[in-house]
Amino acid sequence: MKIIASQKTLLTALSRIQGVVEKSSIKPITANALIETTNSGIAVSATNLQIGMTAHYEDVSVKKEGKISVNARKAFEIIKEFPEDDICIEEMDNYWVEISCGKDLKFNIIGLPPEDFPQFINEKEDSFVSWETDKLLSMLNMTSFSISRDETKQNINGAFFENIEGGQTRIVTTDGYRLSIIDSSLGNQLDMEEGLIIPQKAIIEINKIIQEKREETSIKVLFNKNSLMISIGEIELFVRLIEKKFPDYRVIIPGDGYKKIRVSIEKNRIKPALKRMSIISNENNRPVIFSFSGKMLEIKTEDSELGKVEETLEVKDMVKDDFSFCINCMYLLDVLTVIDGDIVIEFNADEENKPIIVRPDEQVEEIKYIIMPMIMD
């Protein structure tokens, strides 16, 4: 194989895959990029066996067809330090690869057999469904913060997608202490009877790709047994789904038939107050107590090693019955970060230690956040 391309093209190709390649692995091939010629240019691929990415580039001169496999991080570092000029990549004997610019600059690095690179699924164009990129990006932004980061809890270490009535798609995420739910019509529904769980690392890559390709109005999605394939512009992402059963989140959602207290709070009042609370509460994961009375909300927290803080602010609604609850204030701050406007808090006045429901203050039933209370000292 021999190709010539601009530094910009090669830098784009190799920087895109850095989040996918395995940094340390017992399988050396997963630290490599596969570069192969196509009818219209080249395709650059990488995988960590859980996520795979391929991107196609046409602004390349193919001098000799073929494919090579080189260390993705080192190739990126090399290209990054090259001048902004045309760069030649050529396959040599015994899988060595030469990267050169003009006659005076030349790197020779050791590659691996390209035949050892894992193969991705390959499906026909008509097998995909189309989703709106802006809606998907919004749904991910509104829910991904509550995905569990604990990789030992695989069934919640990702975002759960399922079909619901009205042609809508639901995304649910949880870390065991809070729950995020959003419903929206993305476009055509995937054929998934029991839903699917996309790993958190893949959610990060999907988000990055959509952000980069904001000019693309739609994204093509394919569900195939235990895999998901996403295509947007020249980029294809292959994801091995989590093959565990997502928890029955519906049992956590408070139903009807209980005394519900509903109070609206202005975001620009409560968010700065919670940031001040977090100075004390975050140190030892201390609970923050919320006490409502009339139109006033008192927030306070205390730590035996640091001290205490309390603040009172006015809320939008008058509450007839005083009530209190205790939560991790960072969970509410995370919600306030993704919601643009004011919020509504719903509280179960009939039973203690029941989940708190938080919604946008615009009666948007498609979005809800459920936060489990902490025990008051």
Q: Which residue has the higher pLDDT, 100 or 225?
A: 100
Does residue 200 sit in the same domain as residue 100?
Answer: no
Look up the domain containing 98 and give its range.
2-116
349 token code pair: 């006045």
CB proximity list for 247: less than 8 A, separation 6 or greater = 155, 156, 174
Q: Confirm whether 231 is domain-assigned.
A: no
Q: What is the mean pLDDT of the segment spanning 163-186?
A: 95
Rg, Å, the chain Cα set: 25
Q: What is the mean pLDDT of the segment spanning 79-86?
A: 95
Using 50, 70 and 90 to split pLDDT, how confident is the model at 119? Answer: confident
Per DSSP, 249 falls in state G
Q: Confirm whether 225 is domain-assigned.
A: no
CB proximity list for 71: less than 8 A, separation 6 or greater = 31, 32, 33, 109, 111
Does residue 80 sit in the same domain as residue 137?
Answer: no
Number of domains in the chain: 3
**Which pLDDT does position 26 carry in this prediction?**
73
Under 8 Å between Cβ of 212 and 55? no
Q: Last residue of some domain: 230, 250, 270?
A: 250
**Nearest-angstrom CA–CA distance, 107 and 316:** 66
7-16 vs 72-80: helix crossing angle, rounded to 10: 150
Does residue 246 sit in the same domain as residue 134?
Answer: yes
Q: Is the pTM of this model over 0.85?
A: yes
Does residue 321 sit in the same domain as residue 268?
Answer: yes
Q: Confirm whether 121 is domain-assigned.
A: no
Q: Confirm whether 233 is domain-assigned.
A: no
**Which pLDDT does position 205 carry in this prediction?**
95
96 exposure class (CB count in 10 Å sphere: 0-12, 13-18, 19+): middle
**Nearest-angstrom CA–CA distance, 199 and 147:** 9
Q: Which amino acid is at 88?
A: C
204 token code pair: 């990060």
Using 50, 70 and 90 to split pLDDT, how confident is the model at 248? Answer: very high
Q: Last residue of some domain: 56, 82, 116?
A: 116
Per-residue pLDDT for 101 more than 80? Answer: yes
**Which pLDDT does position 295 carry in this prediction?**
93
- String of b and e for 30-46 (b: at least 16 CB within 10 Å)? bbbbbbbbeeebbbbbb
- Measured on CA atoms in the order 91, 95, 101, 102, is the torsion positive or negative? negative
**Which pLDDT does position 317 carry in this prediction?**
84
Q: Last residue of some domain: 116, 150, 174?
A: 116
CB proximity list for 103: less than 8 A, separation 6 or greater = none
Q: Confirm whether 39 is domain-assigned.
A: yes
**Which pLDDT does position 299 carry in this prediction?**
97
Q: What are 255-306's pLDDT values in tens digits?
A: 777 788 899 999 999 999 999 999 999 888 899 999 999 999 999 999 988 9
Any idea what the CATH number is for the domain that residue 139 is in? 3.10.150.10
Using 50, 70 and 90 to split pLDDT, how confident is the model at 124? Answer: low
Q: Confirm whether 377 is domain-assigned.
A: no
Under 8 Å between Cβ of 184 and 99? no
**Which pLDDT does position 84 carry in this prediction?**
94
Q: Confirm whether 124 is domain-assigned.
A: no
Average pLDDT, the chain: 92
Does residue 84 sit in the same domain as residue 8?
Answer: yes
Does residue 148 sit in the same domain as residue 56?
Answer: no
Does residue 318 sit in the same domain as residue 349?
Answer: yes
Q: What are 6-39's pLDDT values in tens digits?
A: 999 999 999 999 999 987 767 889 999 999 999 9
Does residue 293 sit in the same domain as residue 350?
Answer: yes
367 token code pair: 């979005």
**Which pLDDT does position 377 carry in this prediction?**
60
Does residue 68 sit in the same domain as residue 139?
Answer: no
Does residue 294 sit in the same domain as residue 310?
Answer: yes
Q: What is the mean pLDDT of the segment spanning 245-251?
A: 94
**Which pLDDT does position 125 carry in this prediction?**
63
Q: Confirm whether 232 is domain-assigned.
A: no
CA-angle at 83, arms to 81 and 84, nearest 5°: 120
Per-residue pLDDT for 111 more than 90? Answer: yes
